[in-house]
Amino acid sequence: MPRDAPQPIAHQRARGRAELVLAAAPEGARLRHLFQAAPLRWLFPEVDPGDPKLGALVNVAGGLAGGDALEVALALEPGARFTATTPAAEKIYRSLGEETRIACSLQVGEDACCEWLPQETIIFDGCRLARRIDIALAPGAGLLAAETLVLGRAAHGESLRHGSLRDRWRVSREGRLLWADALRLDDPAAARAAPFALGGAGALATLLLAGSAAARCRDQARDLAAGGASLVAPDLLVARWVGEAGLVRDALGAAIAVLREAAFGHPPRLPRLWRT
């Protein structure tokens, strides 16, 4: 009797979502709405003196595989002040075929101040990552946002040679698009080797500073950003870093400390979770 053909393995996939809405409060912000679905969790550790309310976005699964999908929605109501970070680097594992999808939506209300400062995302060789970040700013809203991509497990001597990466940013104010950016790597090995692409770099970082302080912080950002800094709109500054992973992290961290003080009057240091 013929045997039945083996059925393909159905792998378990994560479908995580985290929603957070914050209202203004004397300590910077108070919780208005919270929803979270595994593997995402929001935690609210104690903050250092002078810092606004701090939220830590945790992936309790420890990493993401192909086919996993995460959605993060963060909204600050008028006048709220909040810093979002992560307790550790995010890891994107080698894919068996499907993409890993991450979607982040940030809405910053009138005269609110948002710091979006996750630690780096480490992309394993063979991963397939599609990420998008959409930021909507109201009049008078301030933003300091930074993201770092590490192309392979640097501590293991691994580089990103196979797989794919699609990374898209959109920033708007009052419904008007201020800045759009997209990175697509379908042949990571070739892009890393090309002198006018990544030029051998093992990591890249992007920092955005939006608000009334952007123009006056331009010269500071240019001094700090190895990849350059540009005022792409009257109130939006974009800075870049490319290079070895440890050097990129250190340089980005130094820039965050300087710019958060210059723009928002926050203490010139990284969030506690970056330092512990």
For the chain, 276 residues long, the average pLDDT of each consecutive 10-residue run is 59 88 96 97 94 96 94 98 97 94 98 98 96 98 98 86 96 97 92 85 96 94 89 96 95 97 96 88
- Give domain status of residue 40, yes or no: yes
What's the confidence (pLDDT) of residue 151? 95
CA distance 54 to 128: 31
Q: Which domain holds residue 204?
A: 15-275
Residue 10 lies in a domain: no
Phi, psi values for residue 252, rounded to 5°: -65, -45
Instruction: Tell me, yes or no, whether 89 lies in a domain.
Output: yes
Residue 8 belongs to a domain? no
Taking CA atoms, 214 is separated from 197, 232, 254, in Å, by: 27, 10, 17
Q: Is residue 1 part of a domain?
A: no
Predicted local distance difference test score (pLDDT) of residue 9:
61
Number of domains in the chain: 1
- Alpha-carbon distance 87 to 274, whole Å? 7
Q: Is residue 3 part of a domain?
A: no
Q: Is residue 4 part of a domain?
A: no
* Integer Cα distance of 116 and 127 in angstroms: 24
Residue 148 contacts residue 252 (beta carbons within 8 Å): yes
The alpha-helical segments, DSSP class H, found in the chain are 188-193, 218-224, 245-264, 272-275
CA distance 147 to 194: 23
Strand ordering across the sheet containing 15-23: 30-37, 15-23, 69-76, 100-108, 128-137, 164-173, 176-185
Whole-number pLDDT of residue 195: 84
Distance (Å, rounded) from C-alpha 23 to C-alpha 81?
A: 9
- For position 13, what pLDDT does the model report? 82
Residue 43 forms part of a structural domain: yes
Predicted local distance difference test score (pLDDT) of residue 183: 95
